[in-house]
Each structure stands twice: as structure tokens, then as C-alpha cells.
Chains A and B, each alone.
Chain A
Amino acid sequence: MKNISFKIDGRNCTAEQGQNLIEAAKQNGIFIPTLCHFKHLNPLGSCRVCTVKNNGRTIAGCTLNVDEGMDIEVNTPELLDARKAILEMMFVEGNHFCPSCEKSGDCQMQNLGYETGIRYTRFPHLFVDRIVDARPERIVVNQNRCIKCKRCIEEVRTTDGNRVFNFTNRGNKTLVSIDYEQEAKLSDTQAEHAMHICPTGSILVKGKSFGKPFGNREFDYSNKEKNISFNEIKKHKTTHKKKRIATTSLAGCFGCHMSMLDVDLGILDLIEVVEFNKSPITDIKNFTEHCDIGLIEGGCCNTHNIEVLREFRKNCDILVSVGECAIWGGLPAIRNTVPLEECLKEAYLNSMTSEENEIIIPNHEDIPKILNKVYSNHEVVKIDYHIPGCPPNANHIWNVVKHILFEEEYSIAYPEFKYD
């Protein structure tokens, strides 16, 4: 094959003529993120994460073969943002609850979320009710996590060469369906292969993923420096008044507060420069003074949450959503795909522990009303910063707070990202 030269973002690159752009870019040290692209498969061009520009025209990079003189754009601000947006679309279209997913840490979509730096999605979550199909013999297909990349459709076949998966329906109702008859013919190895090529946790093999944690967490990069140095904080100690912090937990589990306390003895250093106002940590119930920063854990599931959040907005200069629940609803939002009436009946009338013929759903003017769904905080008030994680670790939280309070430049790097 002939060698040719082409350009990526103005850089001269060489490759074999006709080579797939993704591979060619890799050889030249340029990473183009992909999800549906998979080794020997014919280019699918379905996920669009690898969108690039070829001589000014946008195209899925995986469907492009390099040729002499091509001028490819990969990392322009416009394309970086478009790529991030497509991933965000995947997150809002499905129901991706990383903390409860077997594939968390080994999930290619999650990895790309970290890679592109998604702290929160610009789009509203759609919360469409999707099924978890456990009818197949060997595998479970969780439609909540499927991104319709088509990998399994193209790659998974029985020994006779028949497809096991295929798209059914069309438009926004498109889903990957399973041929139960063919699935039953899969060998153990073939079934596991299906699980491994799925870029998310949509395809799981029964008995393989629940018993022990799934695979290796190959996409977790942990920060070497375990603790932030609080000596640095002390340099901010001035004769001026201490900075004031308020915290609260709305529809959350207090896990983020636990995580804040994980800073251990560091808290002694911290209180040299900050003081806590309204917070479960101080048990101050009402704001006594205006605060510099408010940390919100949890989203809004009832009217009380909304009131507290609005009060925080009024009393704090800067509001930070801490953790997944605050950012987009998190685990409590699992109920968002179910009508409220069903939720309440399940909880109070039809549950295993409710009395027979129970008819009372607790209600009183003093009891907050349950909202029709769990709202993320930024749907209710303006939120200035988002710290992802379930929970984010102590260092991460305090790093962000420190940098906001003392106006230092800080961008979250890959190792800090955690959705679970």
C-alpha cells in the first residue's frame, strides 16, 4: 500500500492510503473518541461521537478512509463541544445510574464522559421507562443503558451465522431486541463476548456479573496525592472575617456529607479559614448570616426541598451541586420513569409490609408534597458549579470549594472524575 500524507488539525500525518481515519490518527498520536467503532466491524457510523471535519464537511471519522492531502479537523472547539453534546444526549436519552451499574468503571461510555469532562448534562433527562429483559437464556438486556450503537447487532451471531440482536421499531422508539431462539444457541463464550463488546452495561451474562464485581475498573485513574495540603489553605488565613459555608442534604442519602467529613483531621485546618453556618454539621437550622458558598447534596423530590433550595439561593453567593443526585436526580430519580400514583401506591398501599386493605397515603398540610418527579437543582434555581460523583471524594469537594473561595484557577482533571 502506498503511503500518503494528510493533515489533522494542521499537523502533518502519514498513513497507508485507505486506512481508517481512527486507526491512522492513533498511529500519529491523535486520539479520536469512538463508541460504535469496533475493530474489524464495517464502519457503522451510528454513535457519531467520532464526528470530525474533512475539508470542512462534517463526517463520522470511523467511516472515513484517509487519502492524500486530506485536511481533517478533530479537536476544534466546535467539534469538541459537539462530541461532548452527543455523549450528553446518550446520558439523558437512557437511564444511566452509574452507582448501580455492574459495568461502572469498565464502561466505555462512562470513560468518554470523563474524557470529555462532562460534569453535568446541558440537556434535560428524558426519563423514558425502559425494560430490563431477563427472558433470554443466558443474558440480561437492560434497555436503560443501551445507546443503540449496533455493535452487538453486527458482531454477535450464532455458530450458524444468524443474528441474535436486531433493531426493532423506528425513530425515538428504536430499540435493540433479542431473538430468544437464537440467543439460546449461543455458547458461554459467545454470550460473554456479547457482554464484553457492549460499550455500556446493557448486555450482561447471568451469573457472571452479579456474583462478583464486573471485570477490572480499567477506566479509573486515581489521584496519587491522597490528601490536599491544608497548609496551603492556611496561607489564606487573614485577619479578615472567615469565609462562610452552608450545606444541606435534599433528596440524597447524606453520603456526600459523610464524604465531606472524610477529610478527617483536615477539618481542623479548614475551620481556621472557613466557618459553617446553616448545615447538618453545625446543626444550625436557619441562616443566621449571608454565606459565601452553599453546598447542596441531593435533588428536589418534594416541596420542602424546593423551599430549602430557594432559601439557599437567596442566602448564598455561590451554589454548588455536590454529587449525582444534586446534579441530575441520581438514584432517587429511578422513580422518574414511573408515574407518581404507582410509586405512592407501591410504597404505602401495596408493599409487602403494608397492612391488608390499607388505603391511607400519608398526607397532612405539615407534610411536604411529593413532586411529580425528582428535579435536578439546576432546573429549580441557578447553580454555579457541579461536582460529579456518588459521592465525590473529600479532597475533590474541598479542592473545589477552596479554589472557588480563594478565586484560584482549577479545572477538574480525569482522575478526579467519578460518576459512581
Chain B
Amino acid sequence: MKRSRLLTRLWEFQNKFGFISDNAISEIAQKLRVSKIEIEGVISFYHFFHRQPTGKYIIYLNNSIISEHKGFELVKTAFEKETGCTFGKYCDNTLFSLFETSCIGLSDQEPAALINFHPFTNLNPEKVKSIVQKLKIGVSLETLQNNPTSKIQYIPPGNKTIFFRDYFLGNSIKKILKHSPEELLGTLFKTNLEGHGGAFFSTGLKWKYCKESNSTKKYIICNADEGEPGTFKDKSLLNNVPELVIEGMIIASYITGASKGIIYLRAEYTYLFKKIKNAIQKFKNKGYLGNEILGMKDFKFNIKIQLGAGAYVCGAETALIESLEGKRGEPRIRKYFPTEYGYFGNSTVVNNVETFAKAARIIELGTDFFSNIGTQKSKGTKLISISGDVAKPGIYEIEWGTTIKELLHLSQATAPYYLQISGPSGECINEMEFDRKICKEDLICGGSIMVFNRYRSILQIIENFMKFFNEESCGSCTPCRAGNQILYEKIKKIKKGICTSKDLEEIKEWGKIVSLTSRCGLGQTSTKTFSMAIDKFKDYFNLKVKTCTDNCSIEFDMEEAVYDYDSIIKTTQF
């Protein structure tokens, strides 16, 4: 067995037995000739793998902030009441197991849960009751599940849509016949294509590096591990036009000379697996995948799908590569680009779903089409997933340069007050900034906007984000692992009402240290929103803390400090 098969093998055990037993670990360890603890380390890294028996139905309820606002607590209680199980505990119940999970890409239909990876959306206590009762009498999940499709609420008028225009299989692939890889790269450079996962690194440059690498094997990896809370735009692409994404990968293969492709699909999107597989088959049937593609002798490319197993950090490209290699998804040190040293040391291109789709359209439609859409630096359109306090949550394909105000209007936001751009690792903006434009020149956006109205508690939002980072940090570097925990303590302190303005200053200073010294993007961005919110929502935070000057007295919560003692004495003594 190859190490790269590890995740798939673990999934086989997990799906067959509901957990991964000691025996299974022994068997795998023996086959891979590694110690058992190494396998254990991999299993415990991914939260969809279990080491203890689970029920027939494993329910993963999303605990993102959007879910919290839409009734998470009620739904959680309903699940516990109806199943008799507790969240996060392994109990004797052979039918159900309950776990919380980070955002599952259904923010427009929250609260949502996955039951054995089948989607269940817009949950409420009544619905939960009915689902659980039906499962108990043996109704199948297939008949009960909801449609996870996110509504495409908006496409730009005047034939400007890039992603959702009519699609004909092979249209862009056929174009490459007439062009050399160099010419195609030139087209990408002209349209300024950049990674749409959120890092906005030049795609042309990345592919050029890979093309120029003298690595004997090269890989094209599609990052479909869309884990940033509030984001579901990649899901909509894979659901509506998976072929477009595959076409982009084929073009990348043509340009770089890579012969192997992998789609790393997050387990939360397991329900898309078949669809993508069918799409791949269509390309194979047409001769667009396999050997001698388009009759070119040396053009060979195959794509396989690898399922993730629940780890946000695997969305970071080097962590994703580690995960594909059958390891813990810890981001690598910043020493090499994956195009120099990637999957098993080979030159590797990792791009986001949307980037591949856009690349395919660029080749199909040509640079002229793109030059008229968008802004100077950001060409074309961008997919944005909008969720939260809006009447029309869903997918918005907007022209780069659209203002926040327009977007709020389109999505019919109600009393918008706090907006989270690009998810928890992005940034927050306040009312004063609603005229800002979404584009590289002003406000860059990776693909998600969460809208919160003025009645939402900002502290609750930040607390949810910090909890998320505490759980999803890979844990291997000190500032991210410990620093985020320490900042979480500050939230607890603010909630107790014993913070002073000095604490707010400390949050900003400490956040800066965490972001300065962390090893990868997760830690470098995890504290950004917290610090920003303090500056941008001064009035809100000033009400939460006591303002103090140089010599301020320290607040100490005596009541809380003696609470435990008092209750012990009260309940156990006469």
C-alpha cells in the first residue's frame, strides 16, 4: 500500500465500521511499515475520523456564526432530545452519534447538518424531530435529504457572466489546439488571472514556474477544500459546472506538461463526488482525458478525486499536499513553492476551483472579452457567497469593482452594520465603508461576505471565529496554537465585564505578535478581525470595557472567584 492511499483506506474503515479500531491501525501500520502512533496521529488530525464506535447515523451540525444566528442552539437541543445522545460524546446509542463541525458550505441555508454526509438544511426543532423519527423507522437518507444547491441570485447583466453562461464541453480545450503553451500563458498574463482562493497569486506565474521546472513528474491539484466559514461559491461551481473546472485543469496540464491531476474535495461535499466523477468520465469519453489528448502524442492527463476528512487548514496549499501524501495536514515551512517542491517532491500546481474555471473561460472567450469587464487590476467577475442577515442569501457573480452598497442592495440586507469580508481570516468593515469597491485596488474578497445587522453581538461573532481558529489550527507552531488560546481568554474576560481599555490595546498588540510570527496563513490572519473590530467598532467595545488612563486600577471579579466555593459549601454542608 502506498502512503498516499492512507486517507482513502481510513475512509474505508470509517465507513464500514463507523470507527477506526486498534486492529485497523495495526494492519495499516504494518502495511506501511510505520509505527502505529504515526497512523494515530493522522487519524486524530481529521475530525471526521473516529477512534470509538459511532451510531449508524453520524450527525454533524454546523456551528458557524451564521448557524448560531439562525437557531443553532435550538436545533442542537432538539437533536439531543430526539436522539437521546449528547454532542461530542461517544455513547451507547447504536443508531445516532452527534458532533459539531465547522462550516459545511451551506451558509445560505442554515442551520444545516450533514447526516452521513447527506445534506439537511434550514433545520428547526420540528424538522429535526421529523427527521430523527423517520430515520428511526428506517426511511432512507436519500429520500429525506435536502437539496444543497445554493441559489444563484445574481449574474451581471449584458452577457458579462463568465461562470454561468452557456457551457459546451470542450469549447476551451479545442482552443488550445491553435496555440502553444507560451501563447496561452501570455493570455493568462494579459487578463491578470490570480488565484481566486484568497491569496491572489498570479496564476500565469505559477503555471510558468511549473512549466519551467525540470521535475520528471508534475501534478495539477484542484483545491476544492473550501473551508473558510461563510464560503460556498466553489460548491456552486462544482455543482453547476464541474466540467468547466476540469477543463481548466486540462489546460493547466497542457501548459505545464503535468500528466496527473487530483481534485482534493472536502468531505463536507461528499455529495458532489459522483457528479464530479461523471464529469471526468464525460471528458474521458470524448478523449479529452487519458492518453494522446486531442490527438497530440505527448499530451497525457488523468484526474482522480481525493476526499478530505475534515480539517480547515488543509485548504492551505502545502497542508493540502501533506494531506494528499497521507500525512497530518500541517502546512510546510515557507522554503519552497509547491512548483519547486510539491506533491512527493514533484513540481505541483495547486489552484482553487474558481481559478481553474476562470482560466478555462479566459482561453475560451479570449482576452478582449475580459478587458472590458472589471477594474484595471481585477479583470472579469468574481463569485461571492453572501449569507447572514439578508433576504436573498446565495451566490452572486459580480463584476470586479462593484460596491458593497450595491451588493447589500441586491441581497436585500436588513440594517447591515458589521460585514465580514472573506471569512474569519479576512477582515471586517463598518457602515462607513459601504462605498468601498470589491477589487484589488480597494477591498479584495476571497469569495464570502457575511452580513450582520445592528442587533447582532459583535463579541459573539468574534468569539465564534476565535473558537474556530483554536480548533482548526494545525497546532504545530507556538504563536498560532497558544496565541489564539490566549486571545480567546480575553474574550472570556470581556464577557465577564472586567476589561479595561488597556485590555483592548493588549489584544491588538498580542494579535500583531501572533500574526507576525506564525508559520502559515492561518495564524497570520487569525487575529486580524479581532484587532480590526476593536478599531472599527469603537462605540461597541467602549461600552463593554472601562476606559482607563495610564494608572488604572485592575478589575477583579471577586464574586466569580468565590462562586465555586460558596456553591460547594451550600450544597454539601449543613
Contacts and interface: CB of A to CB of B under 8 A. Distances in A.
Interface of A: 43-49, 51, 58-60, 63, 78, 81-82, 85-86, 89-90, 92-93, 122-124, 126, 147-148, 150, 158, 162-174, 177-179, 181-182, 303, 306, 339-341, 344, 359-361, 363, 369-373, 375, 378-382
B556 A178 contact: no
Contacts of B137: none
B572 interface: yes
Interface stretch (B9-17, B128-136, B361-369, B465-473): B465-473
B149 interface: no
Contacts of A380: 554, 556
A178 B517 contact: no
A170 B474 contact: yes
Contacts of B573: 359-361, 363
Given A124-B486, A174-B481, A361 B40 contact: no
A164 B558 contact: no
Chain B, interface SS category: helix
Interface stretch (B171-179, B240-248, B327-335, B380-388): B327-335
Contact of A179 (B36, B551, B565): B36
B517 A48 contact: yes
15 contacts: A49-B478, A90-B482, A124-B489, A148-B478, A158-B35, A162-B33, A164-B37, A170-B47, A174-B475, A360-B573, A361-B573, A369-B566, A371-B565, A379-B554, A381-B556
Q: Which 3 A-B pairs have the closest CB atoms?
A: A174-B475, A179-B37, A45-B333
A163 to B, nearest CB: 5
B484 to A, nearest CB: 7
Chain A, interface SS category: mixed
B44 interface: yes
Given A162-B34, A381-B556, 16 more contacts: A48-B477, A48-B519, A93-B485, A123-B510, A124-B489, A126-B482, A163-B34, A170-B313, A170-B471, A172-B471, A172-B475, A172-B484, A340-B568, A360-B573, A372-B562, A382-B554
Contacts of A164: 35, 37
A371 B471 contact: no
Interface of B: 33-38, 40-41, 44-45, 47, 311, 313, 328, 330, 333-335, 470-479, 481-486, 489, 506, 510, 513, 516-519, 551-554, 556, 558, 560-566, 568-569, 572-573
Contact of A170 (B44, B478, B554): B44
A369 B562 CA distance: 7
A172 B516 contact: no
Nearest to B567: A341
A48 B518 contact: yes
Contacts of A173: 475
B228 to A, nearest CB: 16
Contacts of A381: 553-554, 556
Given A45-B477, A122-B506, A372 B568 contact: no
A170 to B, nearest CB: 5
Contact of A85 (B510, B553, B572): B510
A156 to B, nearest CB: 11
B35 A63 contact: no
A167 B473 contact: no
B486 A372 contact: no
Contact of A46 (B334, B473, B519, B565): B519
Contact of A166 (B35, B479, B518): B35
Given A306-B556, A380-B556, A45 B562 contact: no
A363 B569 contact: yes
B34 A369 contact: no
Q: Which of A158, A171, A177, A340 has the most CB of B within 10 A?
A: A171
Nearest to A65: B335
Contacts of B563: 372
A43 B475 contact: no
Contacts of B568: 340-341, 344, 361
A344 B474 CA distance: 37
Nearest to A45: B333
A279 to B, nearest CB: 24
Given A43-B333, A179-B35, A341-B568, A167 B475 contact: yes
A182 B516 contact: no
B495 to A, nearest CB: 15
A80 to B, nearest CB: 12
A63 B331 CA distance: 14
Contact of A172 (B470, B477, B513): B470
